[in-house]
Amino acid sequence: MARYSSFLGRRVEVQYRAGDILLPASGVFVGDSGRSIFLEQSFEQRGKNGHFRWEIPYQCLVRIEEKPDPSANATAGPVALKPASGPEAPDARNAAGKPRGTALAAAASAPGARALPLDEGSKTA
């Protein structure tokens, strides 16, 4: 059963997990297979039109939020939906005893964030 089919054809912003990193994606919600969602973004580069499509598995979804279409003047706020959570992984903690996911989520959601903080015990190459 497709959980997110209510978003079909709408502009959305998604936050998904790729390993230990939370990544944002935005585009038009074009499909829901029942195991993954599909987003598409159209763009123009060097005078040519292009399309980029994401496939994001359900288990990687952290957040999905409807965004108003830039061409439409919508007064309603965004609609957020948190994916149904399955069995949770054990909480990984850094050397200071803080959950790693908390720092990652804060870094990923900060506007203009460029770099993630290193754990105190991490070593660089």
Burial of 12 (0-12, 13-18, 19+ CB in 10 A): buried
Q: Are residues 13 and 64 in the same domain?
A: yes
Q: Is residue 124 part of a domain?
A: no
Contact yes or no for 110/116 (Cβ under 8 A): no
Q: What is the pLDDT of residue 72?
A: 59
Whether residues 109 and 94 share a domain: the answer is: yes
Mean pLDDT of 77-105: 53
What token pair was written down for 4?
């997110």
Same domain, 50 and 77: yes
Angstrom distance (rounded) from CA 80 to CA 84: 13
Residue 89 has pLDDT above 50, yes or no: no
Nearest to 7 by CA among 61, 49, 88: 61
Going by pLDDT thresholds of 50, 70 and 90, the confidence category of residue 13 is: very high
Same domain as 113, residue 65: no
Question: What's the pLDDT score for residue 77?
Answer: 55
- pLDDT > 90 fraction of the chain, expressed in percent and rounded: 30
Mean of per-residue pLDDT scores for the chain: 73
Query: What DSSP string runs through 91-118?
Result: --B-TTS-BHHHHHHHHHHSTT---PPP
* Residue 96 resides in a domain: yes
pLDDT value at residue 81:
59
Which residues are bridge partners to 40 per DSSP? 28, 53
Q: Give the DSSP letter of residue 6.
A: G
Q: If pLDDT is split at 50, 70 and 90, which confidence band does 2 have?
A: confident
Same domain, 60 and 18: yes
Could you tell me the residue range of the domain that residue 45 belongs to? 5-87
Q: What's the pLDDT tens digit per position in 106-116?
A: 555 555 544 54
What is the distance between the terminal CA atoms of the chain, rounded to a whole angstrom?
Answer: 46
Q: What is the CATH classification number for the domain harbouring 57? A: 2.30.30
Number of domains in the chain: 2
Residue 125 lies in a domain: no
Percent of the chain at pLDDT exceeding 70:
54
Could you tell me if 23 and 71 lie in one domain? yes
Considering the domain architecture, whether residues 93 and 115 belong to the same structural domain is answered as yes
